[in-house]
Amino acid sequence: MSVLMGWEPAILLRRRPVRPARRPFGLAAAAPVRPPVTSCAPCYARRRAIALLVAATVAAFAVVALVLLGAAVADDGVPRRTAVVQVRSGETLWELAGRVAPQSPPRAVVARIQQLNGMRGATVYPGQPLLVPDGR
Protein backbone atom coordinates (compact mmCIF):
# COMPACT_ATOMS: atom_id res chain seq x y z
CA MET A 1 0.00 0.00 0.00
CA SER A 2 2.89 2.28 0.49
CA VAL A 3 3.37 2.43 -3.24
CA LEU A 4 -0.06 3.98 -3.79
CA MET A 5 0.12 6.49 -1.00
CA GLY A 6 1.01 9.40 -3.23
CA TRP A 7 -1.73 8.57 -5.69
CA GLU A 8 -4.70 8.24 -3.39
CA PRO A 9 -5.68 11.92 -3.37
CA ALA A 10 -5.45 12.11 -7.15
CA ILE A 11 -7.74 9.12 -7.56
CA LEU A 12 -10.21 10.50 -5.08
CA LEU A 13 -10.24 13.92 -6.71
CA ARG A 14 -11.06 12.56 -10.17
CA ARG A 15 -14.52 13.75 -11.11
CA ARG A 16 -17.19 11.57 -12.56
CA PRO A 17 -19.25 12.91 -15.47
CA VAL A 18 -22.40 14.56 -14.21
CA ARG A 19 -25.56 13.18 -15.75
CA PRO A 20 -28.54 15.45 -16.14
CA ALA A 21 -31.34 14.74 -13.75
CA ARG A 22 -34.18 12.70 -15.18
CA ARG A 23 -37.55 14.28 -15.41
CA PRO A 24 -40.45 12.41 -14.00
CA PHE A 25 -42.54 10.52 -16.54
CA GLY A 26 -45.30 12.62 -18.11
CA LEU A 27 -43.60 15.93 -17.53
CA ALA A 28 -42.97 17.58 -20.88
CA ALA A 29 -39.60 19.08 -21.58
CA ALA A 30 -39.61 22.84 -21.68
CA ALA A 31 -38.68 24.38 -25.00
CA PRO A 32 -35.39 26.23 -24.91
CA VAL A 33 -35.73 29.98 -24.81
CA ARG A 34 -34.30 31.34 -28.06
CA PRO A 35 -35.10 34.43 -30.02
CA PRO A 36 -37.35 33.73 -33.01
CA VAL A 37 -35.49 33.11 -36.25
CA THR A 38 -36.26 35.72 -38.85
CA SER A 39 -36.20 34.84 -42.51
CA CYS A 40 -33.10 35.76 -44.51
CA ALA A 41 -35.08 35.93 -47.76
CA PRO A 42 -35.53 39.73 -47.74
CA CYS A 43 -31.81 40.18 -47.15
CA TYR A 44 -30.87 37.90 -50.06
CA ALA A 45 -33.54 39.41 -52.30
CA ARG A 46 -32.10 42.86 -51.67
CA ARG A 47 -28.58 41.64 -52.43
CA ARG A 48 -29.76 39.98 -55.65
CA ALA A 49 -31.56 43.16 -56.71
CA ILE A 50 -28.45 45.26 -56.07
CA ALA A 51 -26.24 42.76 -57.94
CA LEU A 52 -28.67 42.78 -60.87
CA LEU A 53 -28.68 46.57 -60.92
CA VAL A 54 -24.87 46.71 -60.88
CA ALA A 55 -24.64 44.10 -63.66
CA ALA A 56 -27.17 45.99 -65.80
CA THR A 57 -25.27 49.25 -65.30
CA VAL A 58 -21.96 47.65 -66.28
CA ALA A 59 -23.59 46.07 -69.35
CA ALA A 60 -25.09 49.43 -70.38
CA PHE A 61 -21.71 51.16 -70.08
CA ALA A 62 -20.10 48.37 -72.12
CA VAL A 63 -22.68 48.77 -74.91
CA VAL A 64 -22.23 52.55 -74.98
CA ALA A 65 -18.44 52.15 -75.08
CA LEU A 66 -18.65 49.66 -77.95
CA VAL A 67 -20.97 51.95 -79.92
CA LEU A 68 -18.63 54.91 -79.43
CA LEU A 69 -15.62 52.78 -80.33
CA GLY A 70 -17.37 51.55 -83.47
CA ALA A 71 -18.20 55.11 -84.47
CA ALA A 72 -14.58 56.16 -83.94
CA VAL A 73 -13.28 53.24 -86.01
CA ALA A 74 -15.79 53.86 -88.79
CA ASP A 75 -14.68 57.48 -89.12
CA ASP A 76 -11.43 56.93 -91.05
CA GLY A 77 -11.37 60.37 -92.64
CA VAL A 78 -12.71 59.18 -96.00
CA PRO A 79 -15.63 61.23 -97.35
CA ARG A 80 -19.02 59.51 -97.45
CA ARG A 81 -20.19 61.17 -100.68
CA THR A 82 -19.33 59.31 -103.87
CA ALA A 83 -18.80 60.27 -107.48
CA VAL A 84 -17.99 58.45 -110.71
CA VAL A 85 -14.66 59.39 -112.34
CA GLN A 86 -12.67 58.17 -115.36
CA VAL A 87 -9.17 56.81 -114.82
CA ARG A 88 -6.63 58.95 -116.71
CA SER A 89 -3.86 57.50 -118.84
CA GLY A 90 -0.88 56.33 -116.72
CA GLU A 91 -2.74 56.99 -113.45
CA THR A 92 -2.48 54.51 -110.59
CA LEU A 93 -5.06 53.84 -107.92
CA TRP A 94 -2.92 55.75 -105.39
CA GLU A 95 -2.72 58.81 -107.66
CA LEU A 96 -6.48 58.61 -108.24
CA ALA A 97 -7.02 58.53 -104.46
CA GLY A 98 -4.86 61.64 -104.05
CA ARG A 99 -6.78 63.42 -106.83
CA VAL A 100 -10.35 62.68 -105.63
CA ALA A 101 -9.77 63.09 -101.84
CA PRO A 102 -6.62 65.14 -101.22
CA GLN A 103 -7.34 65.81 -97.51
CA SER A 104 -7.89 62.11 -96.66
CA PRO A 105 -5.26 59.45 -96.02
CA PRO A 106 -4.48 57.75 -99.37
CA ARG A 107 -4.38 54.20 -97.94
CA ALA A 108 -7.94 54.56 -96.57
CA VAL A 109 -9.19 56.11 -99.82
CA VAL A 110 -7.67 53.29 -101.90
CA ALA A 111 -9.29 50.71 -99.61
CA ARG A 112 -12.65 52.51 -99.96
CA ILE A 113 -12.35 52.64 -103.78
CA GLN A 114 -11.60 48.92 -103.85
CA GLN A 115 -14.56 48.25 -101.58
CA LEU A 116 -16.98 50.41 -103.60
CA ASN A 117 -15.99 48.80 -106.92
CA GLY A 118 -15.53 45.21 -105.72
CA MET A 119 -11.84 45.21 -106.70
CA ARG A 120 -9.36 42.65 -105.38
CA GLY A 121 -6.18 44.21 -106.72
CA ALA A 122 -4.96 47.70 -107.58
CA THR A 123 -4.99 47.37 -111.38
CA VAL A 124 -6.90 50.08 -113.26
CA TYR A 125 -7.16 50.87 -116.95
CA PRO A 126 -7.31 54.24 -118.75
CA GLY A 127 -10.91 55.33 -119.32
CA GLN A 128 -12.27 52.89 -116.72
CA PRO A 129 -15.18 54.44 -114.74
CA LEU A 130 -14.80 54.03 -110.97
CA LEU A 131 -17.05 54.93 -108.06
CA VAL A 132 -14.84 56.93 -105.69
CA PRO A 133 -15.24 58.98 -102.46
CA ASP A 134 -15.79 62.62 -103.39
CA GLY A 135 -13.63 64.80 -101.18
CA ARG A 136 -13.35 67.86 -103.44
Query: Residues 41-57, buried b or exposed e (16+ Cβ, 10 A)?
Result: eeeeeeeeeeeeeeeee
Q: How many domains does the chain have?
A: 2
Owning domain of residue 128 = 82-133
From residue 60, give the alpha-carbon distance in Å to each of 2, 68, 71, 74, 96: 90, 12, 17, 21, 43
Residues of the chain with pLDDT below 70 are: 1-18, 20-33, 36-41, 72-75
Q: Is residue 91 domain-shared with residue 114, that is, in the same domain?
A: yes
Instruction: Show Cβ contacts of residue 25 under 8 Å, excluding neighbours closer than 6 positions.
Output: none
Does residue 16 lie within any of the structural domains? Answer: no
Task: Say what the pLDDT of residue 27 is.
Answer: 60
User: The whole model's pTM is what?
Assistant: 0.47
Q: Is residue 60 domain-shared with residue 88, that is, in the same domain?
A: no
DSSP reduced 3-state for 135: coil
How far is it, in rounded angstroms, from Cα 115 to Cα 123? 14
Task: Say what the pLDDT of residue 57 is.
Answer: 96
Q: State the DSSP H helix or E strand holding residue 83, giving kind and residue range, or none if neither.
A: strand 82-86
